[in-house]
Amino acid sequence: MKEVSIGLIGFGTVGTGVVKILQENRDILDARVGVPVRLKRIADLDLQTDRGVNVERSILTTDAWGLVRDPEISVVVELIGGYEPAKSLILEAFRNGKHVVTANKALLAEHGPEIFGAAYKAGADIAFEAAVAGGIPILRSLREGLVANRFEKVLAILNGTCNFILTAMDTNPRVSFDEVLREAQALGYAEADPSLDIDGIDSAHKLVLVLGLTHGIRVPVKSLHVEGIRNIDPFDVRMAHEFSYKIKLLAVIKSHGDDVDARLHPTLLPENHPLARVDGVFNGIYLRGDMVGEQLFYGRGAGCEPTASAVIGDVIEMARGVARGEVGRVPPLGYPETWKAPGRVKQISEINTNYYLRIHAMDRPGVLSKVSGIMSEHDISIHSVVQKVRQSSGTVPVVFLTHRAKEADIQTACERISRLEIVEGAPVVIRIEDETLD
């Protein structure tokens, strides 16, 4: 093979990064592949905007369908995002014998079975390193470098926007969630409609892909417990501090034999946990493999060049395969397409962990005993309790940390506590990841 030709669909932020890397690092990329890797065509609806990179006008087109059918192109890079026309373009690329690189986590998380199945049927490769944790090569590490391991535990910060907001609230515990969100939007970290990020959907899409790689379990997002950070109150951030914790939006995967716990929610993490130091827009993945022990991955989860770095990593892997005529070396999710995982994802009601519970109660005799009485009736053992000073409303905030308890018991107890006349509103419940509490 004289050269490997690439077609790029989507000339936005990441697409521009891809073009930049292919141009600026052309010498090392060609040397590493052994044959030239060339960008043959770029498809985008907007051919006017100056992206700050030089490309020959002749390779620009608005016709993405022509690109995925171009017989000279071997690898299609899909960076338009969204479900359609991205899905149909990818399927058409497979039908035309192309391999596909994409950063489209939402598409793969929601339509994975159809897309991975089509790639398998067509004998094509699909790679998506940029879909999870931007520039951090976590997927390839799970699929190849760490293939010797059973994954006992994965805790991951997978959304830079949420981590930026939580870090800002932690640094300045007097600012509200809304103020920090506005700052994140002004700095260009959060979208005008930030709901995909702050409601946890973006992280949950990434969790679905990671779970496919760690355990071979493929589930739709809607089957997972997903909670975002919209309801995080500065008071809880301050209380977390008092207990030497930080609040992070975590994707949690834990093995229980063949079954797993897989969930996404705000979590109290000890201040000395390696992930507690992953601040700002950075992403981090902490994992424990049965053979390798603990590992921490840290880096930028978004942005033009870091994300494009991951895209190019996939492009080069494919170009090497194409140049040698050997594709399909490693299945995209690390298990053969025909393999069926023996385990299942536990319901959230089945999990067992430690909890932070905060209530607002009347400052009267017997209140704590009523609340703790309900907790004891549901087998919930209190690890520590802190009552703060009375507020202008006449209520006092009381925070409990619990020993390990069953989620179903916590939910029932909280439901009963919220019905007490002496308690204002529903308890705030935040799960804790701390192996030193039992």
Report the nearest approach of ligand HSE to the CB of residue 83 (Å).
Answer: 15
The rounded Cα 99 to chain-centroid distance in angstroms is 24
CA distance 12 to 138: 24
Phi, psi of 233 (to 5 degrees): -105, 140
Q: Which of 87, 153, 206, 248 is catalytic?
A: 206
User: The tokens of 158 are what?
Assistant: 């997978």
Looking at the Cβ atoms of 153 and 300, the one nearer to ligand HSE is 300
Looking at the Cβ atoms of 74 and 161, the one nearer to ligand HSE is 161
Is 395 marked as a binding-site residue?
Answer: no
Report the nearest approach of ligand HSE to the CB of residue 202 (Å).
Answer: 5
Helices (H), 301-366: 304-324
Is 17 marked as a binding-site residue?
Answer: no
Q: Is 248 a catalytic residue?
A: no
DSSP assignment letter at 117 = H
User: The tokens of 191 are what?
Assistant: 């979208």
Torsion sign over Cα 156, 160, 166, 171 = positive
Cβ atoms 36, 72 nearer than 8 A: no
* Neighbour-count burial for 379-411, b at 16+ CB within 10 Å, e otherwise: ebebbeeeeeeeeeeebbbbbbbbeebbbebbe
Looking at the Cβ atoms of 135 and 160, the one nearer to ligand HSE is 160
Looking at the Cβ atoms of 188 and 365, the one nearer to ligand HSE is 188
Looking at the Cβ atoms of 159 and 353, the one nearer to ligand HSE is 159
Is 406 marked as a binding-site residue?
Answer: no
CA distance 411 to 378: 10
User: The tokens of 350 are what?
Assistant: 């089945």
Give the end-to-end CA distance of the chain in Å, rounded to a whole number.
60
Report the nearest approach of ligand HSE to the CB of residue 79 (Å).
Answer: 12
Report the nearest approach of ligand HSE to the CB of residue 105 (Å).
Answer: 6
Q: At what angle do helices 26-33 and 304-324 cross, to 10 degrees?
A: 30
CA distance 375 to 180: 35
CA distance 7 to 1: 17
Report the nearest approach of ligand HSE to the CB of residue 285 (Å).
Answer: 13
User: The tokens of 102 are what?
Assistant: 């994409």
Residues 6+ apart with CB under 8 A from 430: 236, 247, 265, 266, 267, 268, 355, 356
Report the nearest approach of ligand HSE to the CB of residue 253 (Å).
Answer: 18
Is 13 marked as a binding-site residue?
Answer: yes
Looking at the Cβ atoms of 160 and 266, the one nearer to ligand HSE is 160
Q: How far is CA 281 from CA 132, 133, 176, 284, 300, in A?
A: 14, 11, 18, 10, 7
Is 15 marked as a binding-site residue?
Answer: yes
Binding site residues, ligand HSE, CB under 6 A: 159-161, 197, 202, 301-302
Binding-site residue numbers for L-homoserine are: 191
Catalytic residues: 206
Binding-site residue numbers for NADP(+) are: 9-16
